[in-house]
Amino acid sequence: MSGRRRALLATAVCASTSSALAQWAPCGAGAGDCYKPHPDGGCIQTACCELVCDYEPLCCEAAWDEVCVEAATELCVGIACPNPGSCLEPHENPGCDDESCCDFACLLDRFCCDVSWDRLCVERTELLCGLGPCAIEVPDDAIPEGEFCYERVNDGCSLTEPAWGSLAAGLTIVGKWTTNGPRDIDSYRLVGPIATVRFRPEFPGQLVLIRGECEGAIEVLAVTTTSPCTEAELPIALQWTGDPTLTLVVSGGTIRGELRRAFACNEIDPENPPSPDDPPPPDPPFERRYLLAAESICAAADLDGDCVVGGADLAILLANWGTDNPLGDLNGSGEIDGADLTLLLANWG
């Protein structure tokens, strides 16, 4: 490539990062391969096509010739969506013909866009594509997780100093899960006797029940997954309830395993804001919130787990009076007070 052409390519790259690209009609589905000459203008990969045509308009206005192919080779490194080949069938070339599905699969696994569209790419496509975004309805009494997605305050044993949230019967928590900087894992210790946990995420969700201390063996007791905005129910066996090391771990996942990429935090850390030159993180086709609710084996006011509301439960409530301990905060207000005492007495006996 000539020095003049390299200079023009560099100019095209700089222009593409500083301003919106021109919208070229021949770009996208139905056009030819960006890396092979063809008699019509434009090529199938929209982002690549626009880069090339901003540099050389004739690539869209006339024919996609060798000059256009050479420019695509220089400008379009890492762009593989869409590409010839069904997203539902393995093929040797990277990418596939459904642009949004292809983009998401490549956020999860760069192999799908850098090397080839293999069986694993197909499996992800079958599980995740076509689901579409949705929004959960958050109850008025839901308790916020208490963690911005750029913080790490309830990641359980993955923290240097382990820390957990807590979930007691009768409470509903609304949280947010993300994968970047570092990967967020929301961990909740179960407090008191719980019969069932209900989980409703806005993303493909995974809920894991584990038992054990960080310095010892961790035992996986149960795993459930669910589609966006679809509720999953996780029964808690009687022999597990009351164990102080019983923990629920919330993350993204499918029946094929945990999702470890592609769900970037969309909140800005005021103490570490991004540079104005930093590109925004890729936006996944799903939102990031979830609901986690626990149902009691006994009445919510039965704090000691003997299924009788009496003096022992009153003693627990009074011992935690004025605190935000979930064990005793019967109305989820964030403080144990007279309203909680009224609920306990209403269930006496």
**pLDDT band at 7; cut points 50, 70, 90:** very low
Sign of CA dihedral 8, 11, 17, 22: negative
% the chain with pLDDT above 70: 92
Query: Which own/partner contact pairs does 237-243 have at CB distance under 8 Å and 24+ positions apart?
Result: 238/297, 240/209, 240/211, 241/190, 241/192, 241/193, 241/194, 241/297, 241/305, 242/192, 242/193, 242/305, 243/190, 243/211
Mean pLDDT, residues 313-332 taken together: 87
| Rounded-to-integer distance, Cα 121 and Cα 88, Å | 9
Q: Give yes or no for residue 345 having a pLDDT over 80.
A: yes
Q: Tens digits of per-residue pLDDT, 39-48? A: 999 998 888 9
* Top-confidence residue, 73 or 281: 73
Range of lowest pLDDT (229-233, 261-265, 278-282): 278-282
Beta partners for residue 251, in sequence order: 206
pLDDT of residue 11: 43
Mean pLDDT, residues 29-53 taken together: 90
Give the largest CA-CA distance in the chain.
89
pLDDT of residue 26: 87
**pLDDT band at 182; cut points 50, 70, 90:** low
Q: Please answer whether residues 324 and 312 qualify as being in contact, where contact means their C-beta atoms are separated by less than 8 angstroms.
A: no
**pLDDT band at 16; cut points 50, 70, 90:** very low
Q: Give yes or no for residue 334 having a pLDDT over 70.
A: yes
φ/ψ of residue 33, rounded to 5: -65, 130
Q: Tens digits of per-residue pLDDT, 58-109? A: 999 999 999 999 999 999 887 888 888 899 999 998 888 888 888 888 888 8
Average pLDDT score, the chain: 85
**CATH architecture assigned to 143-266+281-296:** Sandwich (2.60)
Q: Give yes or no for residue 280 having a pLDDT over 70.
A: yes
Q: Tens digits of per-residue pLDDT, 284-301? A: 788 999 999 998 777 677
Beta partners for residue 200, in sequence order: 291
pLDDT of residue 273: 84
| Rounded-to-integer distance, Cα 66 and Cα 36, Å | 8
Q: Please answer whether residues 11 and 77 qualify as being in contact, where contact means their C-beta atoms are separated by less than 8 angstroms.
A: no
Q: What pTM was computed for the model?
A: 0.69
C-alpha closest to that of 32 among 70, 60, 12 = 60
pLDDT of residue 23: 63
Q: Give yes or no for residue 12 having a pLDDT over 50.
A: no
Mean pLDDT, residues 147-172 taken together: 88
Instruction: Give me the residue spans of the domains in the chain.
Output: 3-128, 143-266+281-296, 311-346
CA distances (Å), origin 34, targets 14, 82, 194? 21, 10, 57
Amino acid occupying residue 314: L
* Top-confidence residue, 22 or 326: 326
Residues of the chain by 3-state class (helix, strand, coil), percent to 5: 25, 20, 55
CA distances (Å), origin 62, targets 19, 32, 50, 289? 24, 13, 14, 47
**pLDDT band at 21; cut points 50, 70, 90:** very low
**pLDDT band at 127; cut points 50, 70, 90:** confident
* Top-confidence residue, 281 or 243: 243
pLDDT of residue 135: 94
Beta partners for residue 232, in sequence order: 199
| Rounded-to-integer distance, Cα 186 and Cα 285, Å | 21
What is 149-182 written as a DSSP string? TT--SS-BTTSSS-B-EEEETT-EEEEE---SSS
* Top-confidence residue, 334 or 279: 334
pLDDT of residue 191: 86
